[in-house]
Amino acid sequence: MTNFTLDMLRSLPGPEDIHREVLPKGITILTRSNFNSPSVVVAGNLDAGALFDTDEKLGLADFVTSALMRGTKKRSFDKIYNELESVGASLGFSSGVHKSGFNGRSLAEDLPLLLTLLSESLTQPAFPKAEMEKLRAQLLTGLAIRAQDTSDMASMVFDEILFRDHPYSRPEDGKPETVQKITRDDLVHFHREHYGPRGMVIAIVGAVKADEAVRQVKRVFGGWQVKGQKEPPELPVVKLLKKTASKNHRIAGKSQSDLVIGTNGPKRRDPEFMSATLGNNILGQFGMMGRIGDVVREKSGLAYYAYSSLSAGIGPGSWEVSAGVNPQNVKKASDLIVDELKRFVQEGVTADELADSKANFIGRLPLSLESNGGVANALLNIERYDLGLDYYRRYAGLVSEVNNEDVLNAARKFIDPDKLAIAVAGP
């Protein structure tokens, strides 16, 4: 088992080198200095995700994030990108169900410019009409490409089955008919109601001291006030499947079918999370994609790819197996996957499998925190799930504590082979 030396432990983010400060208007700042590289990463999020979308205007939150840099009240679309390019910096926005996020990087000396452009995009987007129509055309093109992608459509159908009548069942980027209905007024209204300092988190990692990073954030966001910023809606309870439900989505002319088979998974804060994650690594991630890859792809030759994944967030996630197969092998591959899930919940994992998986988890942690971007994401993770500033120092211990019985119990709690969602997209 890999254990961290004292020096390795000290190199991980911890309470004495993470600075956390909450500004009066509600912005949380997390910083960690790293003078080994001349660059700086800025990442963060705010409560402006697709949870706020209506079914009729689904994709609105995503449209807004895509539009933020298309022109502000001070700079045009071209001017924003020219200023970033002139200093070799980057900045982008993304949206999810709960949050909308941002990510940027620059040389440390250009942090003031990066934060100025971030602040302008977040607080003063202009949503110019001509740019909005160009953007709508791009979004619709993206949706048309998605409609022909067997992997994307299988995932979408899987979410519709697993999260029936729940916000998680909806595609965050909307549907062609809903994106068509979104007006410029909708964008302005959504931005006014949901973008604000309360609940915003910003992480700054790199060649800058904590007090200077905080000063720069205060400079650009200190005066940001939003009256009546809406609270995120209450997340409804997920209705669990009572029996296996399957759906086939036909896309003509394809030479491959993609299938997703799975069930509900834990929330990130559930006590079973670590046991389930280690179990999932053995089931369909580690090495040549774990047991699933071994049985379905290597031994049977039934899939182009096959692996399992566990997604856990603020609400209940999913535990799923994905595979790309010849359309004639869909039934055979599905049966093999279900058999493997049965074996997983009946027999659990071996001592060797668990030891290898633990060593893999502990060994790859320092690698994931080598870059400024990796540390920034880690800080956002700590804040989002309230894990504690010492989480990465405790991580090896949390992994080491998990035993075979824990993994088996987690598997049995979440995976019932008689109550699965099965989605297939292909010819």
Quote the CA–CA distance of 44 and 31 in Å, as a whole number: 11
| The pLDDT of residue 246 is above 70 | yes
Question: Mean pLDDT throughout 125-130?
Answer: 96
pLDDT grade for 385, boundaries at 50, 70 and 90: very high
pLDDT at site 9: 74
CA distance 77 to 134: 12
Distance CA 317, CA 304 (A): 26
The residue type of 256 is Q
The mean pLDDT value of the chain amounts to 94
Would you give the DSSP letter of residue 99? Answer: -
Token pair of 14 as six digits:
């911890």
Is the model's pLDDT at 1 over the cut of 60? no
> Averaged over 188-213, what is the pLDDT?
97
pLDDT score of 290 more than 90: no
Q: What DSSP assignment string belongs to 328-363? A: GGHHHHHHHHHHHHHHHHHH---HHHHHHHHHHHHH
Token pair recorded at residue 317: 């996630």
Phi, psi of 86 (to 5 degrees): -65, -25
pLDDT at 163 over 80: yes
Q: What is the pTM of this model?
A: 0.92
In 3-state terms, what secondary structure has residue 60?
helix
In the chain, what are the domain boundaries?
A: 14-221, 245-426
Q: Which secondary-structure segment (H or E) carries 145?
A: helix 129-147
- Could you report the per-residue pLDDT of 101-123, keeping only the tens digit for each? 999 999 999 999 999 999 999 99
The pLDDT assigned to 286 comes to 86
pLDDT in tens, 13-70: 999 999 999 999 999 999 999 999 999 999 999 999 999 999 999 999 999 999 999 9
Q: Span 356-384, mean pLDDT?
A: 95
Residue among 170, 171, 168, 221 at smallest CA distance from 199: 221
- Stretch among 6-15, 151-160, 186-195, 264-273 having the lowest mean pLDDT: 6-15
Phi, psi of 172 (to 5 degrees): -65, -30
Separation in Å, CA 54 to CA 59, 144, 167: 9, 21, 10
Q: For 31, phi and psi rounded to 5 degrees? A: -135, 150
Per-residue pLDDT tens over the stretch 249-289: 999 999 999 999 999 999 999 999 999 999 999 998 887 78
Task: Give the CATH fold of the 14-221 domain.
Answer: Cytochrome Bc1 Complex; Chain A, domain 1 (3.30.830)
Average pLDDT over residues 136-164: 96
Over 50: is that where the pLDDT of 158 sits?
A: yes
CATH class name, domain 245-426: alpha beta
Residue whose token pair is 């299938």: 259
pLDDT digits (tens, 9 = 90+) for 326-344: 999 999 999 999 999 999 9
Q: Which residues pair with 45 in a beta bridge?
A: 101, 201
Min mean pLDDT across 219-223, 297-301, 365-369 is at 297-301
Task: Check pLDDT > 70 for residue 2.
Answer: no
Contact 423, 247 (CB under 8 A): yes
% of the chain with per-residue pLDDT over 70: 98
β-pairing, 303-311 vs 318-325, is antiparallel
C-alpha 60/C-alpha 188 separation (Å) is 11
Amino acid at 284: G
Residue 403 has pLDDT above 80, yes or no: yes
Give the pLDDT band (50/70/90) at residue 4. low
